[in-house]
Every structure is written in C-alpha cells, then in structure tokens.
Chains A and B, each alone.
Chain A
Amino acid sequence: MHTDPSFLQGLWFILIGVLWAGYFVLEGFDFGVGMLVRALGRDDAEKRMIIHTIGPVWDGNEVWLIVAGGATFAAFPTWYATAFSGFYLALFLVLASLIIRGVSFEFWGKVPSARWRATWEWALAISSGAAALLFGVAWANFVKGVPMGADHIVHASLLDLLHPYALLGGVMTLSVFLTHGALFLTLRTTGEVHDRAAAVVKRVYPIALVVTAAFLIWTLANQSFSVGVLIPVVLAAGVFAGVPVAARKSGGLAFGLSAGAIVLVVVSLAAALYPNAVPSTTSHAFDLSLVAASSTHYTLVVMTVVAVIFIPIVLAYQAWTYWVFRHRLGRDDYEGALTPVAVLESRRKEKDSGVDPTIAGGA
C-alpha cells in the first residue's frame, strides 16, 4: 500500500534537506580550508591566518550536522535507526574524522613547536579530506539504497557501501568542497595566500565540475525518469559551470555560485530519494518510505512549532557572526604577532601613535 506523505512529513523532509544543504555549504568550506592549511600556508603566520578564516565559525557550522541528525531522530525515528545502524562502520569513520578535526584546531596553536604544529596540520588535513569524502559516499548510498528486508534492518558491510557510484559521490564531495574552501579563502584573505588559493581553484575546479556532472547523470540514470529530479540536476550543473565566469567579475559571486551548486546537489539527491527515506536494493517492496519512518502527527506539530520559532533566530545570529568576521585577513596581521590579541594590541598602539590602522583583518 502506498500513501503520500502528509504536509508535515513533507515539510520535515524539506527541513532535514535544508539542514544537510546548510551543513554542506558551511562545513564544506571548512573542510576545504582544513585540507589546504598545509598546502597554502608556507609558515606559521600564514597557517594561523588560514585557520583564523574559519576559526570563529567552524564549530557553529558543525552543529548543522548535529541538528540534522537530531531532526531525523525526532521526525523520522525509523529512518534514523535504520540508516545509522546500517551505515555502522562508515559512520564510525565519519565520527573519528570529525573528532580529530575538531580537536586539531584547538590543539594546533597550544604548543609552539614545529613538530607539534605539523602533527595537527596533517591531522586536520587528513580528517577534513576523509570527512568530505565520506559524506559523498554516505549520500550516494542514502539515495541508491542498501540491502534490506521487510523488517527494515540493513545488512550491508562497509565494503558493500564502497561501490563505484558511491566512490564517485565521495570524489565529488571531496573535489567540490576543496574548490569551495579555496574560493572561500580567496574571499577572506589577501596577498600570496589569496593568489595561491585562486590557483587551487583553477586546478581543482575542472575536476570537480566533471565529477559532479558525471555523478548527477549517474543519479538520473539510476532511476525512472522524473522531471522533479532532472530540474535540480540541470540547475546544479549549470550553476556550478558558471563559477569561472563569475570569478572573473567577483570572488563573492563565484563563492555564491559554488554554494548554490552544493544546495542544488542536495536538492537533486533529496528529490531522487523522495518519497522514500531508505530505499531497499533487495526489492522496492521493502523500501522504507517517509510515511512508514515518520513520527506521529503530534510530535511533528511540536517540532514544527519549535523549528518555526528558533530556526530564524539561529539563522540571524549565525549570519551576524559572518558579518562580524567579514574582513579579509592579511599576512601583515600575523607577521611577528603570535596571537590575535597581540594583533589588536599592536593596532591599538598604532592608533595611539597616530599610524593609520586601515588594514582590514585580524580575528
């Protein structure tokens, strides 16, 4: 028997999609920047500057994932239970990457020794890359489905999840987030780091574009034709193809297009998944539908009230954070000064002694 999702079930599917899209747009550049710290920073001053471009925001960005997980648990508990136990080892690797990444930021600056710094830079780069790759693998499997019977219990090993389609999805997120992070750095830095980041965009972007197009076409081919999936797929590819054109005009526009493309990829995947939560590759008769996975109407109403009140507030204060830390960071801000407080102190002194402190930046 097939029933269509109710209005609230549809709304929560969209909201969870929004949370994932927000997570990938925001944490996507965090991952990219994390991967590039060692590659683009030639010395401690530059590396610190690169880390500081995301320093104030990465933790808040990561909460988008936590809330996406919590929202899935609250709105579609069976989806949460089926997917999280079914993707067991893959999720463990995601968690391990996120843990190592999170403490790398905090530990890196605590000890001024070259070996210590190098250790946490590598940890940051590898864990950022691994997480970026794994999220693509995970989403490809979400959409394609997993071996699962009528009891909605997944029987798949880690290797079952690493088929070519999923690996292509992983390469897509890896290359797209790398491009996205490099674009972000061209917006937030000046000088040599800015130029090196622009060079990374030039080199990685073509790969990202080709892989994304290939992955989206494969996604289309995997299922019966649907206009609802075709439109976001075409839009995603089109918007992403516009990045180099935009980059000639404005870095902000190029970054905006890259963010838009990421959102549209999530929309494409969500459209391909709908109205299922977890498709079964064993038989479509065993697909876990959103309706079957859903919480009760009452719980959805409660959660909708909470979301309607609090999501705008969260968006407002997170946007304000980006406004506060909008200034470009330059090498000068970090030259000789070991810390942002020292930067500010030296700037205050400049001000006192009449030197014009116009150089924007410093976190």
Chain B
Amino acid sequence: MSILDLARSQFAITTLFHFIFVPMSIGLAFIVAVCQTMHYRTGNEVYLRMTRFWAKFMLISLAIGVVTGIVQEFQFGMNWSQYSRYVGDIFGAPLAMEGLLAFFLESTFLGLWLFGWGRLSPKVHLVTIWLTSFGTVLSAYFILAANSWMQHPVGYVINNHTHRAELKNIFAVLFQPTVLLAFPHTILAAMTQGGMLVIGVCGFLLLRKRGNQVVARSLRLALPFTLVMVVATMVFGDTQARLMYEQQPMKMAAAEAQYNTVNGAPFSIFATGSFTRHPKSLSKDITIPHGLSLLATLSWGGQVKGINQINAKEQKKYGPGDYVPIVGVEYWTFRLMIGAGIVMSLICLGGLLLLRRRKVEINKWFLRATLIGGFLPILGNWTGWMFTELGRQPWVVFGLLKTSQANSPNVGSADLVITLAGYILIYGVLIATGGWLMLRELRHGPEPDPSGEDATGAPGAPAPRPELALAY
C-alpha cells in the first residue's frame, strides 16, 4: 500500500465508523425530543418512559459519535496538510462555524438536559433537548456545506501568487444548490436511521414477547414517521442525482456503468464486468429501456453522456490522466443505497398495513424483517457516502486539486500504519462496548407498564428500576 492509499484508508475507516453514529444520534435526538414533547403536551407517562428508553440509545450513540468526531476535524491537518493549505481559506470557515454554532449548542444543552431532570422546569427542560437536536442538525449543515464545496467548488478564486483557493463569497459556499439538496437528503436519511432503529428494537422485543405500552406506541409512531422520511430521502436523492448529471457527469456515468454516450439510455439493474478497474464491456446487463434517460433528463430520448466521452473531455480540460472513478464500486454502491431505501420503505409500508389490521405485533415475518431493517440505514448511509466520495476521484476538490496532491508530505507510512492500527484498536473497543451496551439496554427493555398500585402513586413504593435514569 502506498502512503496515499494508507492515508485514504485511514480517512475511509474513521469516517465510516464515525458515520454509523452521526445519523443515529441526529435521528434519535429528534425522536427523543418528540417523545418528550408528547409527554409535556399530554402528561401521558408512557411518553416519559419512551423518552427515557430511546434516550439511552441516543446517549451511547452520541458519546461515540462525539469523541470520534474530534478525529475527523484533526485529520484534515494531520494527514491532508497539503489539502488544508490549499483550501483552508474556504474550507476552514464552515468547520469553525460548525464548532462555534453547533457543537457548543449540542454539547452544552445535552449536559443540561441529562442532568437537568427535576432541576429545570419541565418547559425549560424540554427546550434543552430541542436545542440539542437542533445542534446536531445544524452541525450537519455546515459540514455538508464544506463537503459540497469539495464536490462543486463555488465562491472562490485561485490566487496565482500563493497557488491556493481563496474565498470570495461565503454565501455562495453556504447556500449553493449542491448543499441545499445534500442537506435534506442526509438529514432525512439520518431520521430514517433513528426511525429504523426504533422499529428494529420494537421488533426484537415483540419477537421475545416483551411488548408493552412503550413498544406499542413507539412502533405506531415510528412506522409512518420512517416511511415519510425514507421516501423523502429518495425524492431528494433523485433531485440531487439530476443536479449531479450537470455538476459531476462522470460520477453519474460511472453510477450507471454507461460507457458511451447514447440517446434514450436504458437503466441498468444488474451488471457485472471482469475484475479490472475499467472493464471494457459488461456481462449480464439487465436493463429497463429508456429508464436512465427518463430519470436523468426526464425525457424519453434524452442524451446521457458516457464515461469514455467524459474522460476525453476532461483530459482536454485538465490535461492528460485518468478521470474515471472505479466504475464497479460506483455502480454497486449506488444500487445498494437505493436498494436499502426501497427495502426500508417496504418494511415500513408492510408494518403500516399490518397496523391497520391490528396484526403488527404478532406477525413473525414482519418482526424478523425489522431486525434486518435496523441495520439497513447503515448500509444505505455508508454506500451513499462511498458513492459520492469515491465518485469524485481522482479529485479531492473537483476540478481543482487531486487527491494524490493533498496528503501530508512529512507523514510517512510508519506514522500512518501506527495510527491506523491505533484507530482500529480503539474503534474496535468502542464498537464492541457500545454495541454490547445497546444490546444490554435492548434486553432490559423499556420500563414496565405501571401496575394499578404504582399508578396511584402509593407513597414509599420503591422505584421499580432505579438504574433506568440516564445520567452516568
């Protein structure tokens, strides 16, 4: 492995790990805030138990997400110092704003919420969880603005004296269409992940005959919520893809393994090629005629550019070189992402139909499907990011800076191997411990429904499960 490959592997591994917990935290924080709001509005104690139960998953997820997030911020300087020098004038701004506006908000109000039960008035306490949730969403906006700039640089000039990109218009960076579409797509996918986790946990408990009011009501809320979120994710994704045909045609051509420009292009459902980086031809290509042209251009005979033509064009523009990402990876991550979305929406739809027939809690097939469904958002989010980041290659900043020019010249393979091994070790412990703790909470299940006595608030009755409180 070259030094560049090691640095890229490190970024990929740490980011994918981090991104299990980011959308999970965003989704769960919102769901916890909704549960607590329902309790505040209705006074129904089931919502309070729901708040506490889902908060436990949120807290484990947030803890791991936050600590692994620091690595992400430092990594730009550590492994990608040439990148940081080149784009820092632009890229640093949204990162600093993310810390100042979002991370402070999220962490401070999470502390207030966690330790503020009973100390703050119920109204103020409710506000603290909403501000935590808002902080998580806001942080996503800034980091997506930064990433969108890497996908589609705007609002900059190249300084020929310093040979770096300089910021000319911050509003162009913060509000370009690329981020305005990437943000809802990512946030809705995060909400989907929270919702699917809730559905999966409920499914697990129901399979073990551990259902109670918390499980029943959570499932009833999560099914329609998640269905809306996952469908909306796909709608925004579709819009994003059309924008991508204009901004990064190569990525989309690779997504479809469309080697040559055609009018009325078919949509490929299943294709394989030989195990080379750029197979010259595809075998077993199952297609829907005209499907791709319809999706990409909204017309029957619309022209879709092919990899070979785009590559030739980019060679003319940027000089000799290979501007094709790994087509097989692009093709399959794109399909796995969409496939995960479709399967998740089918699970939710099936659940809703069963709910209408009052069979959702007893249908074994549905409950088993939710167990897999709980993991599908991770697959969808991972493949989505792999698609978008690998599809930009060989560029780190599209059209401006190649990945091969971006890494730190003074960081050698020994440094990278040591830290990569270190991260894998630490993250391995984190995922094992965090996963085990979540499984433990799952086995405990939510607080049981109150019996008649407890409901009357008999004085001196021992709290049924004192360790259920959230703070450490």
Contacts and interface: CB of A to CB of B under 8 A. Distances in A.
Interface stretch (B107-115, B274-282, B314-322, B389-397): B107-115
A349 B457 CA distance: 11
Interface in B356-408: 408
Query: A interface, by DSSP: helix, strand, loop or mixed?
Result: helix
B93 interface: yes
Nearest to B159: A296
Given A96-B422, A99-B70, A344 B108 contact: no
Contacts of A348: 118
Contact of A55 (B74, B92, B471): B471
B117 to A, nearest CB: 6
A89 B415 contact: yes
B66 interface: yes
B82 interface: yes
B85 A77 contact: yes
A48 interface: yes
Interface string A283-317: 00000000000011011001100110011001001
A85 B75 CA distance: 9
A305 to B, nearest CB: 9
A39 interface: no
Nearest to A76: B88
Interface stretch (A56-64, A197-205, A234-242): A56-64
B78 A88 contact: yes
Contacts, number: 259
A325 interface: yes
A66 B57 CA distance: 25
B104 A314 contact: yes
Given A88-B415, A302-B170, A324-B119, A339 B68 contact: no
Interface string B77-115: 111011011011111110111111101110111111011
A342 B471 CA distance: 11
Given A82-B81, A306-B100, A324 B116 contact: yes
Contact of A77 (B88, B119, B120, B430): B88
Interface in B402-440: 408-411, 415, 418-419, 422, 426, 430, 433-434, 437, 440
B107 A86 contact: no
B168 interface: yes
Interface string A146-185: 0000000111000000000000000000000000000000
7 contacts: A66-B103, A84-B81, A153-B81, A341-B469, A342-B466, A344-B119, A363-B115
Given A73-B77, A110-B437, A303-B93, 13 more contacts: A67-B100, A67-B104, A70-B73, A70-B98, A81-B81, A82-B81, A89-B419, A107-B63, A107-B437, A298-B168, A299-B170, A341-B117, A341-B470
